[in-house]
């Protein structure tokens, strides 16, 4: 069982809809991540939050809006998405320390998003 929980597991939405993806972890991790994964491809980093503040935005279009309400929750708000945004969206978390590099990321099972 994964320790990072993502809801919903599946989401179908039209291009004019507004929806949100949710991610929750209770491991005390202070870094949280959003990735996008297309079929047969590796995950691509979208956003990184460190101590509830956005630290990395990989030039993601503004139709994706992340939010980190507290240290356990991470949301991804979706609006006016395009068909090419259909993908598996993965959330991950990791501990933060002075030596950031040596902490593995723990992934959720993802939300499979389909844009009609």
Residues at the interface with another protein (CB under 8 A): 2, 4, 6, 31, 33, 40-43, 45, 48, 50, 55-56, 90, 92, 94, 98-102, 104-110, 112
**Closest CB 45 distance from another protein, rounded Å:** 6
Is the CB of 56 or the CB of 116 nearer to another protein? 56
Is the CB of 17 or the CB of 86 nearer to another protein? 86
Angle at 82 between CA 23 and CA 14, to 5 degrees: 75
**Closest CB 102 distance from another protein, rounded Å:** 5
DSSP 51: T
Determine contact, residues 62/51, Cβ cutoff 8 Å: no
Two tokens, residue 29: 């991790």
Is the CB of 79 or the CB of 112 nearer to another protein? 112
Sequence-ordered list of residues with C-beta below 8 angstroms from that of 57, at least 6 positions apart, any chain: 46, 47
d(CA 78, CA 3): 24
């Amino acid at each position: 069982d994964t320790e990072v929980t993502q809801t919903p597991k599946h989401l179908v939405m039209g291009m004019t809809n507004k929806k949100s993806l949710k991610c929750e972890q209770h491991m005390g991790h202070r870094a949280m991540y959003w990735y996008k994964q297309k079929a047969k491809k590796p995950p691509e980093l979208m956003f990184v939050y460190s101590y509830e503040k956005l630290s990395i935005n990989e030039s993601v279009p503004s139709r994706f809006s992340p939010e980190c309400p507290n240290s356990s929750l991470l949301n991804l708000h979706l609006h006016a998405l395009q068909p090419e945004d259909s993908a598996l969206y993965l959330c991950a978390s990791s501990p933060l320390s002075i030596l950031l590099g040596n902490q593995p990321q723990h992934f959720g099972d993802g939300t499979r998003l389909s844009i009609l």
